[in-house]
Structure 1
């Protein structure tokens, strides 16, 4: 067998004789790592069981039990964490950046580009990947300017040749073709970096051409490496951004690695409405497919048993399977040591201010009254979507817009701890305290009738209290993340009324009116079982985490910082 091993951070090749007539080919995949390399949460300042230092141990275990293996990275690698924020900040003074050494040490065989690779421009993209030994893939991305051609070195496909030694001291070669694609929407999301420099064609057209080309070039087996997902909670599989359902119907594909949506497949049920998708076996139109979640918490695995047919002078797939494995607490200590200097630099980087606030931002009373801390999150969400609306004249952008946010670290009693950011400089660590989950932003279109139910469900987190005890109004068995507050509408909650009749709005909500509500992906996809939200109401899914939206919003505010003016748009009726 041929496989890579990592010893003291050095990659080596080992061969063992196997029967060429029948072999196990294992394709290993990471996707949507978003800069989670070190297994450390830089917001909470605590270790966590994710990141490539943990995935590396699982990778080695899986390599060791296969005759032949490949390791593929499927995009959104260089953005999304304090570590990658540090890399961007260090790019002007540090060369090389730590990414190439990391990928080479783990032994990646190919890297597909995702949408977030373009967030910082083409020059940074090329610097981040400088020195990576693995080929970079994208079949539907085309450089059109001399600047882009200077910084983009990707290929539409690659064939990786693996020699299989047999007992007769001869070798047989298996050619594994890899084809990469990414969402064409990068031309909208990062237009300021990409306009007049690149062209992105539809994924299906590019993949169809590249799959044929790689087959014609001699590939025995072809893996589609697609930084795209599938429509959720829907029976309609056609989508220009989430294109795997259509791509899986292309002739000539043997396996699929996909991502972009941060789901774990096989295992999730969000795609069960689609025809020919088996979320338990992990197949799409009978083709084994994996999506390995987010933050290097899982490793995607495609297994093929192949037989070499002398009559056909080629390889035949005898069996195929897809699975996803969760990483464990075991770490690759050689990688930990290798990343230590950049890790310590990131810890220091987190203490740097990214903006400031004119007064204290506290969530102490967020369960019983509006607070500036919650208002900041609302304002950042609406600011982000306002920018999108200005750039995209879509029907939903004309609807009344609201923001829905729940407090994560509010007090339930006078003795409880809570988030509090003092007036003045705001650091990256403060942002992690204010918004504690790696949620992304979604926009839902709901009717006034659904909005009323949403408001009432949130109001169920309160109870009738006494005027001399402000904490008595909180129903403490309902967690704070279930208490959504809303910006963009005035309302009051009367806990003395039965649930369903507690909320009065001004002006009164019309049942037939439609609203665009900006919220996090957890709530939008049905998290918390509120208002029958199930993902079907989502009209837009942002590629950005809310933590990073908050950072960009504070940077946008500049020297004036976040103002001290509180909008009292909701209250508890205590009469």
Structure 2
């Protein structure tokens, strides 16, 4: 056995006529290049492509026939991406993520949905510097021509167990969720067409086989999904792994960790987390087939190795990372410097902490600022439609960094004091545009039911504390809607699972839904709701949002609206936190509420919410547990 990071991976020994081919992949890096948290301006550990380079080198060391891929969502996600968009590329310098990928010797890559967030010009400028192959099977221009090559055939010299060389042809294709057409509509509408992932992959896999591919790999920027997923589904990696002719699949998009070694009728399938926390690994053994011009491909193992957590006590510029690539290191250091300067611009001041550590059990100041900023930016847009003047105006805001699959460090925790641009980016991490929808009470109720699925179902008769939060649910899908008051009854089952699939359409958790003036919200009542372009398109599996009437879209991003709102505040921010949602009392049931370790320093907030510290739970996975009596 060979130790790679924190994961034991078996060393593969190829026979005299066998070829051991190792496939490595990153996914959902989201512009995490260095192990540095630009939101807090401090070094971190366990993330970043530069830190993952150590693991890539280790995986290559005992496998001379190795290919390295990236599975998309690479160019957006941290202030490094924002600074690259605003300053690096406009200055004529290459995208630092692409620079690092070139230096590390990536062989091929596909795109993810967030790679379209900054628009096609930014995307194409970034990709123009790539020295690796790019492929995307299910995205085409209006005339039918592919946006990127639909497939690519890599020719590589490999050695077998006896040291003899062979030429191997490795076919690569990639796919991205077709929902990008809606999620990034301002950027792609009329410019690109998106089709079903499984069908597109099947077509390109067959073409690669016809062109002589010995091995076929699919880079599926898609979660595992259901094997019977309908056409056009967002997550179809499991379907793709069952396609004839596929030898290996790397999944992504949902930030999960998954590894399946493959079996009859199903190729090995690996999903290596996000942010550079893990590396995807699939080992294949190739043996000569009866046809001497072909190889028989057999899976040997699959894994998601990770580096042990390391505490970085200095700025990444002074660490060893990428030190063997001095040209790359120099460009990365400069991008890092530009980013820190970019996000250090002053905006204003806050009289109160802005944190999301308790945002899933009670309304908080952080989401109130987002909701207020959205509403302020939308009012001039709504004023242009006098026929809408009598409709209530609501605002939907989610705590983007509030635990979930990203773990216990994934929380916003901005202390009272001066606010800078990095704090606005911390509150709102995506470049989504502002939208105003017209929706009725029935649609609003479904919206809230989906958000309320973040909670586990609680048994009021149980005597032992039960975990309240389902950490598999992405917190950016927990919309709190201001302009309303409502309760969430967690003793009832959720309508959906974390991925948005309906598990009980008749389930109902939302109680006492009222406008802020106390009027009950009826199914036919109409209102306006300010939200973002991702949610307006149904992103996060909110079909009622997609079915609502679009009143107005704006070129301004919600994050820019938040920054402007902070900068234009004449006094220190002290948001009045609207009551909006609360949890229905259950007669004194003890619940286990798990949040980030930073919650321990917010004693006043703990007291306000009636939280009681308890002994650490062995199964807490790094979260800090509290008791909450409901």
What TM-score, normalized by structure 1, do the two folds share?
Answer: 0.66
Deviations for 1:484-528, whole angstroms, at most 9, x for unmatched residues?
9763433699xxxxxxxxx97755989999999999xxxxxxxxx
The alignment yields a C-alpha RMSD, in angstroms, of: 5.3
Write the distance in 2 (CA, Å) between the matches of 1:450 and 1:154. Answer: 35
In structure 1, what is the equivalent of residue 25 of structure 2? 29
Identify if the C-alpha distance between structure 1 residues 34 and 566 changes in structure 2 by more than 3 Å, giving closer, same or farther: same
Alpha-carbon contact 2:136-2:149 (below 8 Å) kept: yes
Query: Which of 457, 474, 489 is 2:484 aligned to?
Result: 489
Residue number in structure 2 paired with 1:199: 193
Tell me how far 1:28 sits from its aligned partner: 0.2
Distance 1:125 1:435 in 2: 21
Alpha-carbon shift at residue 181 of structure 1 (Å): 1.2
Structure-1 residue corresponding to 2:297: 317
Say which of 195, 211, 222 aligns to 1:217. 211
Deviation per residue, 1:379-418 (Å, 9 max, x gap): 578999999xxxxxxxxxxxx9866759979xxxxxxx97
- Residue 298 of structure 1 aligns with which residue? 278
Q: Which runs of 5+ in 1 are unaligned?
A: 1-16, 267-279, 388-399, 410-416, 438-442, 461-476, 494-502, 520-535, 543-547
Match of 1:551 in 2: 559
Pairing partner for 1:51 from 44, 48, 56? 48
Given that residues 175 and 221 in structure 2 are in contact (C-alpha distance below 8 angstroms), is that contact kept between their aligned partners in structure 1?
A: yes
Alignment partners' CA distance in 2, 1:309 and 1:380: 64
Partner Cα separation in structure 2 for residue 36 and residue 115 of structure 1: 16
Instruction: Count residues in correspondence.
Output: 469
1:146-545 pair list within 5 angstroms? 154-165=148-159, 171-231=165-225, 240-266=233-259, 281=261, 286-309=266-289, 311-329=291-309, 332-334=321-323, 337-338=329-330, 339-353=332-346, 360-363=351-354, 372-379=365-372, 419-422=414-417, 426-429=420-423, 431-432=425-426, 487-490=482-485, 506=514
2:37 aligns with: 41
Q: Normalized against structure 2, the TM-score is what? A: 0.61
Residue 118, structure 1, aligned to residue 107, structure 2: no
Determine if contact 1:29/1:74 at 8 Å carries over to the other structure.
Answer: yes
Choose 88-97 or 373-382, whichever is displaced more.
Answer: 373-382
Q: Output one character per residue of 1:3-55: Cα deviation in whole Å (capped at 9) or x when no partner.
A: xxxxxxxxxxxxxx987610211110001100001111111222222101111
Q: Distance in 1 between matches of 2:181 and 2:264?
A: 28
**Pick from 48, 57, 62: which aligns with 1:60?**
57
- Mapped to 2, the partners of 1:231 and 1:541 lie a distance apart of 22
Q: Distance in 2 between matches of 1:174 and 1:571?
A: 59
Say which of 95, 104, 107 aligns to 1:106. Answer: 104
Q: Tell me the CA shift for residue 173 of structure 1.
A: 1.3
Tell me the secondary structure at the aligned position of residue 154 of structure 1: coil
- The answer (yes or no) to whether the contact 1:20–1:165 under 8 Å persists in 2 is no
SS in 2 for 1:37: coil
Provide the secondary structure at the position in 1 that maps to 2:74: coil
CA distance in structure 2 between the aligned counterparts of 1:87 and 1:136, rounded to whole angstroms: 21
1:83 maps onto 2:80 in alignment: yes
Contact 2:367 2:397 in 1 (8 A): no
1:85-112 C-alpha deviation (Å, 9 max, x unpaired): 1111112123233333211110000011
Q: How many Å separate the matches in 2 of 1:137 and 1:448?
A: 38
Q: 1:444 to 1:404 in 2, by over 3 A?
A: farther
Deviations 1:274-298 (CA, angstroms, capped at 9, x unpaired): xxxxxx6567952101111110111
Counterparts of 1:144 and 1:484, CA distance in 2: 35
Offset at residue 237 of structure 1 (A): 6.6
SS at match of 1:347: helix
Instruction: Tell me the equivalent position of 2:135.
Output: 137
SS of 1:211's equivalent in the other structure is helix
CA distance in 1, matches of 2:14, 2:399: 57
Give CA deviations for 1:291-319 in whole Å, capped at 9, x if unaligned.
11110111001110111246543211243
Task: Give the 3 Å change call, closer, same or farther, for CA 307–515 of structure 1 in structure 2.
Answer: farther
Change (3 A) 1:510 1:73: same
Q: Take 2:452 and 2:249, find their aligned partners in 1: how far apart are those partners?
A: 42
Shift of the 435–253 alpha-carbon distance from structure 1 to 2, 3 Å rule, reads same
TM-aligned CA distance change 1:81 to 1:371, over 3 Å = closer
